[in-house]
Amino acid sequence: DTGKRRDGQEGVNCSFFRNEGQVRRSSDLILEADILAWDKWPGQRLYTYVSPTKIRRFNDRHRRNRPPGWCFYQAGWTFVKVSPGGLHILEVLP
């Protein structure tokens, strides 16, 4: 959706993402989705919420210290803040 929400976030809420395949990197899929979103809503801020407790975490030592939503960071998204409910808000600007 677009516009301003009651929680103060403005732009296009990218409300779900899940890579169920093993062939393509999640960050590549997010980059493609960004392009599609900007085709539909030119110039809009894209944002999403990441739940640190609901994402799949890897146990190997190289990935343990990565922040929740790592694939979004790899696609150029940045951290905004933690919501009152504990969700990480990430954004990307055109």
60-70 pLDDT, tens digit each: 555 567 788 88
Mean pLDDT of 20-43: 89
In SS3 terms, the chain reads as CCCECCCCCECEECCCCCCCCCCCCHHHHHHHHHHHHHHHCCCCCEEEEECCCCCCCCCCCCCCCCCCCHHHHHCCCEEEEECCCCCEEEEECC
Mean pLDDT of 30-38: 93
Mean of per-residue pLDDT scores for the chain: 83
46-85 pLDDT, tens digit each: 999 998 887 765 545 555 677 888 889 999 999 999 998 8
